[in-house]
């Protein structure tokens, strides 16, 4: 069988969150909405990443992106929390480990 340049290359399958991953992310989102920190979200998916973007207001840039990149699973970890400007705030192999980045905001000093 010869390869013909006119035949399209096979499409890669898009990356999605599975039910348990989305459940963990939506629980965090619910807590942050109840605290008044977040107000809106968007989910993006393509052949390399799935991203859950969090907004303070709909018209703004996302405050955070919780991103899944399966191609990095064996290297740095497939999960990342990315802040404004594309700064990687936390990266890891487990979603629960990466979502702990937001736990530090739950505690505040009371005088």
Q: Does residue 110 lie within any of the structural domains?
A: no
**Is 73 contained in some domain?**
yes
SS (H, E, C) the chain: CCCCCCCCCCCCCCCCCCHHHHHHHHHHHHHHHHCCCCCEEEEEECCCCEEEEEECCCCCCCCEEEEECHHHCCCCCCEEEECHHHCEEEEECCHHHHHHHHHHHCCCCCC
Domain interval for residue 59: 19-105
Domains contained in the chain, number? 1
Residue 92, beta-bridge partner list: 79
- 110 pLDDT tier (thresholds 50, 70, 90): low
Q: Tell me if 55 is assigned to some domain.
A: yes
* Owner of token pair 């700064």: 87
Q: Is 27 part of any domain?
A: yes
Q: What is the pTM of this model?
A: 0.77
| Predicted confidence (pLDDT) at residue 92 exceeds the cutoff of 80 | yes
Q: Is residue 52 part of a domain?
A: yes
3-48 confidence digits (pLDDT tens): 555 555 555 678 888 899 999 999 999 999 998 888 999 999 888 8
Q: Considering the domain boundaries, does residue 11 fall inside one?
A: no
**Quick check: is 95 in a domain?**
yes
């Amino acid at each position: 069988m010869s390869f013909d340049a006119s035949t399209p290359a096979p499409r890669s399958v898009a990356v999605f969150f599975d039910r348990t991953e989305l459940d963990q992310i939506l629980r965090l989102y619910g807590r942050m909405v109840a605290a008044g920190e977040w107000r809106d979200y968007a989910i993006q998916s393509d052949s390399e990443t799935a991203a859950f973007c969090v907004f303070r207001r709909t018209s703004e840039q996302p405050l955070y992106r919780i991103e899944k990149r399966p191609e990095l699973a064996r290297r740095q970890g497939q999960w990342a929390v990315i802040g404004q400007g594309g700064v990687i705030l936390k990266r890891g192999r487990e979603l629960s480990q990466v979502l702990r980045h937001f736990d530090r905001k739950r505690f505040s000093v009371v005088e």
